[in-house]
Amino acid sequence: MRFVHTSDWHLGRGFHGAGLRDAQEAYLDHLVELVRSESVDAVLVSGDVYDRALPAPDTVALLSEALTRLVDAGAQVVLSSGNHDSAIRLGFAASLLERSGLHIRSAVADIGRPVLVDGVAIQPIPYLEPSQVAAALGTDDRTHAGVLRAAMARVAADTAARGLPTVVMAHAFVTGAAPSDSERDITAGGVSGVHPSVFAGATYAALGHLHRPQQVGEGMHYSGSPVAMSFSEAGHTKSSLVVTVEGGAVRSMETVPAPVDRPLAVVRGTLEDVLVDPRHTAAESAWVRAVLTDATRPAGAMDRLRRRFPHCVDLAFEPLGAPVDVRTYAARLRQSRSEIDVCCDFLAHVRGGHLPDAAERALVTEAVEATRLEQADVDDRVPVADRASGAA
């Protein structure tokens, strides 16, 4: 059985205010051709199909067309929901669509019910929010590792009964892997990490959530996102994995580079140097992040940069030798500060520097997590029209 492992399409996402639709369309065209040229039996998409729970109509149309073309090209398509997807919306009409070769798995009840393709059991596990699914999975361990272990117990039981090689799809943060700046944080009190041993027994683990392509264990891989979504991904080679399972084992695995609609580039130096340095010629057609090191902030910097770099979308200032951080307050908070840290810092600020104690921090953590879950629930319940009009 030959399959393509991909994930984190994030259809509908933008890049510093610019649209990524052309890049996403180019990747989907490439994927259809890959299915045809490599005689692919199945396409596995391990979560974050959409970038938001309420995708725009044209984004839904893009996915619909792509899935139709993939099935028409001869592949079974297996989608599992990620933390950006609305499990309810993505899973609409799943049982009906399954008859046509499109298998959408976003419900806890489907865990352990494989998609069978040429003697291989594909076991999709949707993104699991611990506090919402622990009871349904019969576990008291309300961590990502806990609910995934419970899910894998169902998979193991089915594997033992069928005796088939198993390909597991999961959307999670596996410890030892390297994140990027463009993933949504799923941490809550330090319970997000999942040890690779959770997936022991699988012939192959097709992982999603992290946007950097990487291996985290024997037969455990992140395909990464097919399109870059932050400048931290400037050095990544975006790709899909073509995997062949034969005789109960992975017999071959090939990394197939994804098309690059527009590369990323980071240019650094004083404004005058950046504008004339020939080393930056290739960046003239790229998405550009400019980091200026001038001792004082140059006037009209972005306008001048865009005369040479029309697609400059991000500007930062890091004066050489300057003791003062010239970034905005919001930008400083965004860098490596969790929502919980920001709330605790604010609490300390309004109390004259008095930091919250352990009990107060625990209360803040509980409040932040409750708000996140409430928002996710609202995204699933509120109709698009009401949401657009500002309804709660």
Determine the 3-state secondary structure of 177 from DSSP: coil
Residues in the chain: 392
Say how far apart CA 60 and CA 227 lie, in whole Å.
18
Q: Are residues 210 and 268 in the same domain?
A: no
Q: Is residue 92 part of a domain?
A: yes
Measure the CA–CA gap between 315 and 299, rounded to whole angstroms.
13
Task: Give yes or no: residues 250 and 103 share one domain.
Answer: yes
Contact present, 147 and 130 (Cβ < 8 Å): yes
pLDDT in tens, 90-137: 999 999 999 999 999 999 999 999 999 999 999 999 999 999 999 999
349 with 230, same domain: the answer is: no
The partner residues of 250 in beta bridges, in order of sequence, read 245
pLDDT of residue 388: 44
**pLDDT on residue 177:** 86
- Are 97 and 193 found together in one domain? yes
Q: Are residues 200 and 114 in the same domain?
A: yes
140 and 38 both lie in a single domain: yes
The answer as to whether 34 is a domain residue is: yes
Question: 195 and 161 share a domain?
Answer: yes
Final residue of a structural domain among 326, 353, 369? 326
Average pLDDT over residues 317-325: 71
* Residues 191 and 252 grouped into a single domain: yes
Q: Which of 138-142, 242-246, 369-373 has the lowest mean pLDDT?
A: 369-373
Chain-centre distance for alpha carbon 390: 27
Average pLDDT, the chain: 90
Q: Is residue 331 part of a domain?
A: no
| Residue 100 CA to its chain's centroid (Å) | 27
Check residue 362 and give its pLDDT: 85
What's the pLDDT at 322?
53
Mean pLDDT within 303-315: 97
Q: Is the same domain home to 179 and 67?
A: yes
C-beta separation of 269 from 295 below 8 A: no
- pLDDT value at 153 more than 50: yes
Give per-residue pLDDT as tens, 20-46.
999 999 999 999 999 999 999 999 999
Residue at 145 is within a domain: yes
On whether residue 334 sits in a domain, the answer given is no
Residue 333 in any domain: the answer is no
Distance CA 49, CA 24 (A): 11
**What CA–CA distance (Å, rounded) separates 148 from 151?**
5
| Same domain flag for 268 and 251 | no
CATH label of the domain that carries residue 219: 3.60.21.10
Per the domain annotation, does 332 fall within a domain? no
Instruction: Give the residue numbers spanning the domain of 310.
Output: 264-326
Of 279, 297, 326, which residue constitutes the final position of a domain?
A: 326
Q: For residues 142, 147, 153 and 156, what is the CA-based torsion angle, rounded to 10 degrees?
A: -160
Tell me: do 253 and 269 sit in the same domain: no
47 vs 366, more confident: 47
Window from 73-87, 138-152, 348-362 with minimum mean pLDDT: 348-362
pLDDT at residue number 65: 98
Position 336 scores a pLDDT of 53
pLDDT beyond 80 at 288: yes
Give the model's pLDDT for residue 389. 41
Please give the average per-residue pLDDT across 255-276, as a whole number. Answer: 97
Tell me: pLDDT of 391 over 60.
no
Q: Could you tell me if 169 and 236 lie in one domain?
A: yes
pLDDT digits (tens, 9 = 90+) for 338-387: 788 888 888 877 776 678 888 888 898 888 878 877 776 666 655 544 44
pLDDT (average), residues 268-274: 97
Tell me which of 257, 285, 305 is where a domain ends.
Answer: 257
Three-class DSSP category at 197: helix
Supply the pLDDT for residue 334: 54
Contact partners, residue 222, CB within 8 Å, separation at least 6:
7, 174, 177, 207, 208, 209, 210, 212, 213, 214, 215, 216
Hey, which residues does 98 pair with through a beta bridge? none
Number of folded domains that form the chain: 3
Does residue 189 or residue 203 have the better pLDDT? 203
